[in-house]
Structure 1
Amino acid sequence: MLKGILTIISIFFFQLVFFTQSATLTGTVRNDKGYYVSDANVSIANTKKGTTTDEKGRFSLEVPAGEQLKVVVSSAEYDTHTEFVTLEEGSTEDLIVILMTRMLRPFDATAKDPGTSGMNYYKPVGAQNIPTPIPNIESQLRFSQVGVTQNNELSAGYNVRGGNFDENLIYLNGIEIYRPFLARSGQQEGMSFINPYMVDNILFSAGGFDARYGDKLSSVLDVSYKDPREFAATTVASFLGANVFVQDKPSVRLNYLLGARYQTNAYLFGALDTKGDYKPAFLDLQGMVNYHINENTRLTLFGTYADNKYRIVPENRETNWGSINEALRFTVYYEGQEVTQFRTAMGAASIENRPNDHLKLYFTTSMFRTVESENFDILGEYRLDELERDIGSDDFGEVAYTRGVGGFLEHARNDLDAFVANGYHRGVLDWGEDHKNRLQWGVKYQHEITNDKISEWYMLDSARFNAPHPSDSVGYVDPSAQPYQELHLSYSLKSSNSVSSNRVTGFIQNRKGWEIKTKRQFADSLIDGDSTIVWVDTTFETSQYVNATIGVRAHYWDFNDQTVISPRASINYRPALFFNHNNEMYRRNVTFRFATGFYYQPPFYREIRNLNGEINPEIRAQQSIHFVFGTDYTFFMWDRRFKFTGEAYYKHLSDIIPYEIDNVRIRYYGENNAKGYATGLDFKLNGQFVKGIESYASLSFLRTQEDILDDFYYNYYNSDDELIVPGYTVNNTPVDSERIEPGYIPRPTDQFLNFSLFFQDKMPEEWNTAKIKWSTFKVNLNLMFGSRLPYGPPGDARYNDTIRGTFFRRVDIGFSKDIIGSMTDRTKFSEKSILNHIDKMWVSLEVFNLLDIENTTNYNWITDVSGRRYSIPNTLTTRRINLKLVIQF
């Protein structure tokens, strides 16, 4: 018996050794850069068969034939590659394996935590795809976010829910950034600090943001640059300048970003009212390097330098405005020039450490320097004419008569040098079951130095009254017998200030999430397979989700020895709501949220300097209490995903510092002598109105007012009981007066209605033919509408700034055609041609201000011989056509 068993076992092993079917598996392993990978492990899953690659990435392995094999290729620096093969007996299979470089740890810039306070995550539209005169991220906020307004295509400035641009926090990779201090017009401002071609994603909140963000009254924009995982490059050239962007990851530890921008807007400025020799030159260089010291630690270095130079020799200007009842023309001839230069530099270093999967520690230091100068002497000789209004007249639209002539002289020698240095630590700890709790903390020290010298004045001679000497002094030889000679300036400011101060800030906040189990009953009539209506009534278990964040931050500034404490809290709730669609039950993707808190804004340099250039050492932080209720609803329409966002808000403002806005320059009164409020509704809808491409629409309603606590004025009446208005009333002798306390007046940003639309379209693929790929034709439309903003005559009487300007209306459109893309037949390119390395190339024809509407940015004021004042609108650019070439590698 035993002998028989041994015989059978011997035969079995004999067959296993001599008759097993086999094949040979060979291959080459490369990485995603095309280099050979040596010493990579190649194994067959669930077997003991395996080998390693040689110095040329080659391997050879004998494997079983006739069965499916799972081939696993792995190496320490790359993602594991898996492939399934089946080989025939005696055959040889040659594999080509590409291993993708992996991160040591998932340091992913896109993995931001939006929290619970309505921080909106946004993947920006490529700047090269948006028809706008000056590409920047800020111009995308007006349509992609709620509550954002922008009324100047030449500026990167934006307002949020009734606040000015200084009330917005802007972070780049966690570092707060600033814009030039002296800029008084969009023409001077140059390019935005943020390079839009380097941006990966942004987080934005229009109010009610968490305590981890800093101390400003209105909003926060948190921008992250790309974290490269492969080589890519983009170059853009147009009539307005050129941009180059390069990224790469030369090794598993190292990656980098480089960006260069040059813009010359002389062609664009030629569409302004003021004609002349424009010579702007705006240059910006930026670079970022990430180096993984080890698996848990990453070092990031960032640097930028910008030189924005603006020069103009104005020649003349002609502005027509008014109405059918009073058509006017303002003509000016200039002498002189303006030269403005803003040079900024910034450097930062950051270390991110992850001791374990629950804890992240960040240590950052940065330095910012801006050196700014503004110099001009401009003489203007002007004439104010009334135009012929009779349509039947041969001279319709021509000068009927002259209302006045005059001149003005503008002078400035302004210099500013500011330096900001800081050190910052932030920590993030995920704890609790499934990491539903997130604790964050941070502390920051900042030192600021500002040296500012201002010498500017403006003289207006509305009726040629100013003379070099009194007429009755001609020929006098005795100086004591001559009357005192003086020129009266309409405006003058001369000051020299130096301010050095320190700030210490800190915060702590915790977010907690709850999953609430609940039961829902679903009852509805359904249609079964034979079209019979069936009543279904069922109960099932589901979950509701609640997340709450509570935090507090503190800010101490030694300039005024003030400490402010800002508690903030928010909650969002995702209910269990379901609906029936095509006999299937779906959960509604809807979220409700509420946020509130105290938001202080300790002054920066501009807020502490009043209209006379004097520094107020008693200045205090402005305060705003936010109440924000919002909802997000994601739904499907036309089998495509859409998202609706709506928010209602109220902001109570106290200790406000009143200000005026002249073009883009904000001039503060330097005192906390106002209170106010802002309230409104914001709506946004985005989705694929055209399949495969995203479009956005936003609508906002706003009302913001302030009450300056110590302002008043007098109305004077003549003997005819008429209100005396210089230039209009004949009897200007007062016999009675009335004290008026204005109360609440519109804030400078009180714009009741705003609508923005960014719409993308392309030709359908069904139209493609063998010769013409119609789907490579695309169009992008950018539309903006804003209601009238308040303004008033020059001076520090804010209660006069209640006149309403004109509507803001603008349409920009771009038409593009792919030259090289996914549908290109690359076989027609030679092997050595550079065209083989181009991923995509297209050309765009852009029409700025398609409807050629003259939008007003601010007003000049003149007075005629009768004392009547006129506001002359300064308009933005008219229609311009731009040609742009984009190449992506």
Structure 2
Amino acid sequence: MKTFELLFLVVISWSSSVLQGQTATITGVIFDENQIPIPQVNISSGSTGTFSNEQGFYLLEITADKETNITFSHLGNQKLILENLILNTNEHYEFNPVLKTKVFTIAEVVVTPSGNRRAEGITTISPKTVRNIPGANAGIENILKLLPGVTSNNELSTQYMVRGGNFDENLVYANGIEIYRPFLIRSGQQEGLSFINSDMVENLKFSAGGFQAKYGDKLSSVLDITYKTPVSFGIKVKASLLGTAFTLEGVSKNKKLASITSIRSRDNSALVNSQNTKGNYNPLFFDIQQFSTLVLSPKLKVSYLGNLSVNNYRNEPFSRQTKFGTLTDIKTLTVYYAGQEKDRYTTALNSLKADYQINEHTNLKLISSLYYNKEQEYSDIIAQYKLEDLNPETDSDNPLTPTTINGLATQFNRARNILDAKIFNIEHKGRYSKNDNALDWGLKYEHTDIRDHIRESEFIDSLGFTLRPPGSGYDRNEPATAYEAPVLPIEGITAQNNVQTNKLSSFVQYSRRGQWLGHSLYFNLGSRVSHWVVDGIDIERISHTIISPRGQFSMKPNWEKDILFRISGGVYQQPPFYRELRDSDGVVHPEVEAQKSLQIVMGTQYGFKLWQRPFTLLGETYYKNLQNVNPYTLEDVRIRYAAQNNASAYVYGAELRLNGAFVPGTESWFSLGYLKTEENIDNRGYISRPTDQRLKMGILFQDYMPEVPDVKMYLNLTYNTGLPGGSPSYASPYEYQNRLRDYKRADLGISYIFVGANKQYDNNSFLRLFKELNGGFEIYNLFNNQNSITNTWVRDLVNNQQFAVPNFMTGRILNVKIEMRF
């Protein structure tokens, strides 16, 4: 912790004084009640103002870091006032108002460095912040991991755990489309690009628990992404040592058709080669996404979202050497490899959404999507390892000299896994709102078709004999007795499954805002109902039904201080997906029921001003009681379920987050979280779950140089206490409750703005070709901490013991990048 304290003091000492005269931009399209753009609308803010053009488009510069009221007025329509708007320096904020027939004031929209203040308990994060913050896997998930209830000890992975849940318990939506992830990926270095493309994002909302009934059936969290609808032509290019990205925005002349397309490629070789396993790595990842919107009439709008992603991971390891143990009992593991691994993950998504505005009160949506996923894992890796004791004496010329060899063995891992998945969805959503009341409803059908062929085996041979799995019926007595039994893998799976699931789900939710004794109140009540049937070849047809009521209540007292109180909760149930139905032997169990969580979340939000700048302090406590728990093991990012509802569990914790403009025109926050989660398997007593991450601290800090404000600094710091280290194969987790070492990481980014909103050039300079141009460098894992995500279990054949050897993550890496926009 001293290192983090020292760095924080250095960063604070580098912080600049308040800069005056910085600006931000608000833009959008103004519509009437029939969704027709309105020209010549007067938009004013103090002494400045502008008018919308023939297509209803407007752009207005306002003073940054200062409360501003913006008035929209037009002859024949009543004016609209956007109050208490606070934007960061150079922030580009989009607001598309609808001018109605009566005067009203929007007082709930407060844009601050901490995001939109919402009674529903949703965290909003600026897309600009997401794009700027450095990280080995820069993007949405990179910044989510700095939130107090979100953890991940693997910088190569885009997966995250929320409040004691695992990777499979998080909902992700893009423009209302549910997003799925591959099934077979077992390590973070096999992952490529996140589905969410940060260059296309307009709004980002995240809930870490207690979310509304209108969201789906998962246990932990919701990430709700909205992609932008372009209002003008633009090109953005990004390039770095890790990859490239090209984004094209376009809009038709009549403004009815708008489209944004982005192509990305990534090469993680530099990151993977910084690990302690040396080899020839060739991880290449590519994807293309497009989001298009077509206005067919003033009431009907159709949008399309498409994605194609191809991940190729090739690994030819050479050697590895890892030192572990204690100061008085130092051991080293040396491994020499032969063979290679070839993996390919291909995913495609096509979706259509029709949005029909019947009138100003009623909106109907029809959404359909088809997701296809093909995964192939081919691996033949031979590893010859040597386990040795080291001499800890410090007065020796070579103190770490091997003294005893405890194990010499050869390990052979082979995999031939192929999986095809097709997921089809069709869904209707509707909303009726009038005055302070709103009614939401939805009906969704989902069909899943999984074809899975899994063949995995592991052999261990040493000193002329082959280890067999426990319970195989063959005793080991070589070389006194000749080995005549069949050669069996110490661990092996062979299975072929063809599974179909049909699921019908619906929800209804009522919301209301009101006043009581001068206090502002908000609540929503809703429930979800889901019915699904599991079927397939050689699989018994079994159906299940669940009901999940939920609710939220918020109150903003009529006090001088800006305080909001919130409580939410209900029943959250997660129907099993294919991975949860398959046990460790590859057998599918259609009788597995939905895991069930009774949750309650209580929170407080306090807004205040410090140094004449806005700050927000948020605090939440939560408790989850889980039943019908399906136990699992976690190795890197690979989850293997028991496919049984034979456990119960609990989670409780508390979180704090302070947001604010510590430096004018920037967004920074400090977060702290504590949680405890344990499970009771077959009534054997409570033990830590694989996601029992007790203490979490995250710091996001942005700054600039006062003398050269175009030089920007971005820093994120993460500290997590160690996760449970897992257990070797065939061993009970009740016998192995050791923990990994604490996770500490710092990522630093420095950039210089050559061209920006406040820095333009005349026609005599070639820089006039750019709307934006900036470049810089990033240092990942600034202090080169050795963090581990999991253990490799190695056998000591002399004493018949197993040792947990940590698998270290990436070391210090330098990345250079440049971004330009035309």
TM-score for both structures, normalised by structure 1: 0.77
Where do 1:369-448 residues align within 5 Å?
369-431=372-434, 435-448=435-448
Indicate the residue corresponding to 1:362 in structure 2.
365
Q: CA deviation at 1:122?
A: 2.3
Where do 1:433-582 residues align within 5 Å?
435-461=435-461, 463-466=463-466, 484-517=484-517, 543-559=518-534, 560-578=542-560
1:172 pairs with one of 171, 174, 180 = 174
Indicate the residue corresponding to 2:820 in structure 1.
887
Q: Give the aligned residue type for 2:688.
A: P
Taking the aligned partners of 2:603 and 2:614, their CA distance within structure 1 comes to 20
Pair 1:76–1:240, CA change in 2 (3 A)? closer
Question: Given that residues 127 and 197 in structure 1 are in contact (C-alpha distance below 8 angstroms), is that contact kept between their aligned partners in structure 2?
Answer: no
Indicate the residue corresponding to 1:332 in structure 2.
335
Unaligned residue ranges in structure 1 (runs of 5+): 1-30, 34-39, 46-69, 84-100, 475-480, 518-542, 579-587, 711-740, 768-773
Pair 1:106–1:804, CA change in 2 (3 A)? farther
Where do 1:786-797 residues align within 5 Å?
786-790=720-724, 791-795=726-730, 797=732
Question: Given that residues 377 and 415 in structure 2 are in contact (C-alpha distance below 8 angstroms), is that contact kept between their aligned partners in structure 1?
Answer: yes
Identity %: 36
Q: CA deviation at 1:820?
A: 2.6
Where do 1:724-739 residues align within 5 Å?
none
Question: Given that residues 128 and 236 in structure 1 are in contact (C-alpha distance below 8 angstroms), is that contact kept between their aligned partners in structure 2?
Answer: no
1:819 pairs with one of 736, 739, 754 = 754
Q: CA deviation at 1:232?
A: 2.8
SS at match of 1:456: strand
Q: Give the aligned residue type for 2:383.
A: G
Where do 1:685-724 residues align within 5 Å?
685-709=658-682
CA deviations 1:620-672 (Å, max 9, x no partner) are 01100011100111111111111111000100000000000011000000000
Question: Given that residues 459 and 466 in structure 2 are in contact (C-alpha distance below 8 angstroms), is that contact kept between their aligned partners in structure 1?
Answer: no
SS at match of 1:394: coil
Stretch moving more, 449-458 or 238-247: 238-247
Pair 1:42–1:465, CA change in 2 (3 A)? closer
Taking the aligned partners of 1:646 and 1:614, their CA distance within structure 2 comes to 44
Indicate the residue corresponding to 1:858 in structure 2.
790
Alignment of 1:803 onto 2:738: yes
- Please identify runs of 4+ aligned residues in structure 1 that moved more than 6 A: 40-43, 70-74, 79-83, 101-107, 110-115, 470-474
Pair 1:372–1:122, CA change in 2 (3 A)? same
Taking the aligned partners of 2:416 and 2:382, their CA distance within structure 1 comes to 15
Taking the aligned partners of 2:769 and 2:57, their CA distance within structure 1 comes to 24
2:137 pairs with one of 114, 134, 139 = 134
Taking the aligned partners of 1:105 and 1:460, their CA distance within structure 2 comes to 69
Indicate the residue corresponding to 2:66 in structure 1.
none
Taking the aligned partners of 2:248 and 2:323, their CA distance within structure 1 comes to 47
Q: Give the aligned residue type for 2:687.
A: I
Indicate the residue corresponding to 1:299 in structure 2.
302
Question: Given that residues 126 and 197 in structure 1 are in contact (C-alpha distance below 8 angstroms), is that contact kept between their aligned partners in structure 2?
Answer: no
CA deviations 1:498-527 (Å, max 9, x no partner) are 10120000000000111124xxxxxxxxxx
CA deviations 1:232-254 (Å, max 9, x no partner) are 33211111110111212223101
Indicate the residue corresponding to 2:350 in structure 1.
347
Taking the aligned partners of 1:807 and 1:694, their CA distance within structure 2 comes to 27
Question: Given that residues 448 and 500 in structure 2 are in contact (C-alpha distance below 8 angstroms), is that contact kept between their aligned partners in structure 1?
Answer: yes
Question: Given that residues 148 and 696 in structure 2 are in contact (C-alpha distance below 8 angstroms), is that contact kept between their aligned partners in structure 1?
Answer: no
Indicate the residue corresponding to 2:612 in structure 1.
639
Indicate the residue corresponding to 2:125 in structure 1.
122
Taking the aligned partners of 2:609 and 2:50, their CA distance within structure 1 comes to 41
Indicate the residue corresponding to 1:745 in structure 2.
687
Stretch moving more, 504-513 or 224-233: 224-233
2:698 pairs with one of 756, 761, 785 = 756
Taking the aligned partners of 1:808 and 1:130, their CA distance within structure 2 comes to 19
SS at match of 1:178: coil
Taking the aligned partners of 1:72 and 1:113, their CA distance within structure 2 comes to 26
Q: Give the aligned residue type for 1:819.
A: F
Taking the aligned partners of 1:307 and 1:73, their CA distance within structure 2 comes to 43
Q: Give the aligned residue type for 1:848.
A: Y
SS at match of 1:645: strand
Pair 1:102–1:872, CA change in 2 (3 A)? closer
CA deviations 1:483-542 (Å, max 9, x no partner) are 63432422111111010120000000000111124xxxxxxxxxxxxxxxxxxxxxxxxx
Q: Give the aligned residue type for 1:591.
A: L
Pair 1:664–1:42, CA change in 2 (3 A)? closer
Question: Given that residues 105 and 295 in structure 1 are in contact (C-alpha distance below 8 angstroms), is that contact kept between their aligned partners in structure 2?
Answer: no
Indicate the residue corresponding to 2:709 in structure 1.
775
Larger Rg: 1
Question: Given that residues 115 and 210 in structure 1 are in contact (C-alpha distance below 8 angstroms), is that contact kept between their aligned partners in structure 2?
Answer: no
CA deviations 1:324-353 (Å, max 9, x no partner) are 111221111110000011000000000111
Taking the aligned partners of 2:634 and 2:136, their CA distance within structure 1 comes to 23
Question: Given that residues 128 and 886 in structure 1 are in contact (C-alpha distance below 8 angstroms), is that contact kept between their aligned partners in structure 2?
Answer: no
Taking the aligned partners of 1:702 and 1:467, their CA distance within structure 2 comes to 40
Taking the aligned partners of 1:641 and 1:245, their CA distance within structure 2 comes to 33
Pair 1:597–1:804, CA change in 2 (3 A)? same
2:600 pairs with one of 623, 627, 649 = 627
Which structure has more relative contact order (CA 8 Å, sep 6+)? It is 2
Question: Given that residues 462 and 863 in structure 1 are in contact (C-alpha distance below 8 angstroms), is that contact kept between their aligned partners in structure 2?
Answer: no
Indicate the residue corresponding to 1:664 in structure 2.
637
Taking the aligned partners of 1:41 and 1:106, their CA distance within structure 2 comes to 9
2:233 pairs with one of 231, 234, 238 = 231
Pair 1:655–1:102, CA change in 2 (3 A)? closer
Pair 1:487–1:106, CA change in 2 (3 A)? farther
State the number of aligned residues: 723
Pair 1:257–1:796, CA change in 2 (3 A)? farther
Taking the aligned partners of 1:563 and 1:207, their CA distance within structure 2 comes to 23
Stretch moving more, 669-678 or 238-247: 238-247
Q: Give the aligned residue type for 2:614.
A: R
Taking the aligned partners of 2:801 and 2:164, their CA distance within structure 1 comes to 32
Q: CA deviation at 1:178?
A: 0.9
Stretch moving more, 395-404 or 618-627: 395-404
Taking the aligned partners of 1:513 and 1:316, their CA distance within structure 2 comes to 63
Pair 1:565–1:298, CA change in 2 (3 A)? same
2:572 pairs with one of 599, 612, 630 = 599
SS at match of 2:223: strand
Taking the aligned partners of 2:508 and 2:487, their CA distance within structure 1 comes to 59
SS at match of 2:232: coil
